[in-house]
Structure 1
Amino acid sequence: MKLRPIEIGDAGKAAALLAEGFPSHSHEAWAGTIQRLFAHVQEIGETSIGQFVMAGGDEIGLCLAIPSYRTAYADQPTRIVNLASFFLRPGSEWMAPLLMRRLTADRSVEYTDLTASPSMRKINRQTGFVDHSEGSVFIPVPVAALRAGRGARVLPLGAIRPGALPDAHIRLLEQHAALGSIAVALEVHGTCHPLILTSSPRRRMPSARVILVRDRQLIRKGLGPIARHLMKRGFAFLEFDARAKVGFPEAMFRTEVAPVQSTRDTADEAIDHTFSEMVFLRPG
C-alpha cells in the first residue's frame, strides 16, 4: 500500500472514484469539483489536490487534500490542508488509521476535516485531531428576519465603499464569489467585516452555512439583516458550527452534524473555512 499524488492528468480517475465512494453526488458534480480544485491549486503554485491509495498498481481509494493559507484573521498566513472525501474500497477499510497518519505527517501544517463520518471522527481523534465544535446551530431565516438591524446592514460586494475593507479581504470575497459563494460585507455601526456563506442543503431545506466571519458575536449583531439577505435568495436556515446555541434563542442545535476537527489544539474565535471542500463541492 502506498500513496500517489492526484495531479491534473488524474482528473478522470479521481472523479470516477469519488462518484463510486460518494454516490449522493453525480459523476458530473465530482468532475466539476475536481476542475475547480485544480484551478485553485494552480493559482497558489501547487499541483496536487490529494492522494490516491495504491495497492498492486491499482487505485483502491483516495483522499482529497485541499491546500490553502488562512489569512483573514490570522496574525500571519497559516498553511491549511483540508482533508475531505476519504474513500477506501470495501475490504481495505482497515488501512484507514495508518493512511491518516501518513496524510497528516507534516507537523508544520494544520490539517482540518469538516465532514468526517462517525467512524472517521474516531480515527481522526486517535491521529491527533481535536474537535473544535460540538455540532451546528440552525437558525430559521424567516424568524431571524424579524430581528431589528440595530446599526447593521449587509453590503453586496459591488456596494462596499473603497477602503472599507483591506484589499486582501476584498480579494478573498471576490475569489469566493467566483466559486459561487455568497460573499458580502457585514457593516456594524459603520465598520465593515467580510462575510462568506455557501449553500448547504439539509434534508432538502436550503441552508446557508457560514464559511468566514470574525466571530459568532458578529453573527448575532447582524442576524436580522443577514437573515433578510438570505430570505431574498430562498434560504430557509442559516447554519454555523459551534459548541452550543448560546445567544440564539430561535435556533436549533444539531449534534449529529460532523464537528469541525483540526490538528490545532485550540480554536480561534473566527470561523474560517475559506477554500475548503464546502466551497468547491456543489450539490448535484
Structure 2
Amino acid sequence: DEIDAVETEEQLHSIIARFINTGIFIFINWRVEPYVLDRGSYSIILDLPNFMLPSLSYYLDANEAGMREVLRTFLIDTAILAGYPRAEAENSAEESISIEQELAGWIAQENDAMPQAGPMAVNMSTLVERYPGIPWRAILTRLTDHCETVGFDCLQSVKRDADKFLFIDLSYLERLSFALHTRPARSWIPLLRHSLIHWAAPFLDSRFRNAEFQLRRGLTAGFLPQPRWKFCIQRTGEALPSMTDMMFVSKFFTPQDSKVGGEVIRRLKTSFIHRLQNANWLDDPTRRRALSKAESMALNIGAPNNYMF
C-alpha cells in the first residue's frame, strides 16, 4: 500500500532507504570491506544493484528475449497473487522490465576510468552534493537506527563525515541520481512493487514459492527447490551472518568459554610472534614488517565487540 501511494520524492526516498536496509538492493548495493589503501580501516563499497535477472545480457541481448519472457510471466503471476487485476499486472510487469533494461544499459556503457590505485574514499557530504537524487542520509539514518535498536554502535565514523564510501561506477550513480530527481516519483512504482514481491516470494505461501521455482527453473536448467525450512535458514544466515553467529555463541557457550578461548588464542599469538622473532630465514626488514602485522592482529571469540566502524 505504501508503494502504491508514492507521490513525492520524499516518499520515494523513504521506500528506497527501507528497501536497501532490508537487503533489497534495487538501485545500488553496498557492502563493508577492508580498505586496501589504509590497513585496518573499513569502507562501504557502493556497488551495482541486484537485478531480478542474473545477467545484464538477459536485458540487453535481443537473443535473450526468452529470459525476459520468463521474468515477465513471473512478475504478472505474482502480482495477480498479490491482488492486482491482470491488466494492471501486465502493464506493471512491462514497465518494471523496461526500467531494469534502462539501468542495465547505463551499466553496460563505457564507464569513467578508474584510478590505478583504485577508487578514492569520500564522505557522506560529498555523496549528497554530487548525487542528490539518491537518498543517502535516509539510508544512513535507517541503518544506524536499526543498529541502536539492537544495541550496536555502528557507522560512527560515517556520522562524523569521515571518508568511508568507495565508488564502483561513477557514471551509473550520476545517471541514477538525475533520473530519481527529475522523473515523477510514481514512474518508479512498478519496479518498487515487483522488486518487493520478487524478494519476498520465497517467504510467502506455496503459490508464490511455486512461481519463484518456475522462474528459477526457467533461468537455470536443473534447478530444484529446497525444503522451505532449509531455504529460510540459509537466507537468514546470508542476510544476518553476524547476528546468527552471536545467537549461536550465546546459546551454546558460556562467558567462561570465552575467557578460556581468549587465553588460548592469546597464547597462540604470542607463540607465533616468538617464532617470527627467532626465524633464521627472515632478514631484518622482512622480520620487522612481519612482526608489525602479527602484533596488530585483532583477537575475537565468537563475535567482535564492535561492528562496522
Same fold (TM over 0.5): no
Q: Give the structure with the larger strand fraction.
A: 1
TM-score, structure 1 as length reference: 0.24
| Greater Rg by CA | 2
Question: Structure 2 length normalisation: TM-score?
Answer: 0.23
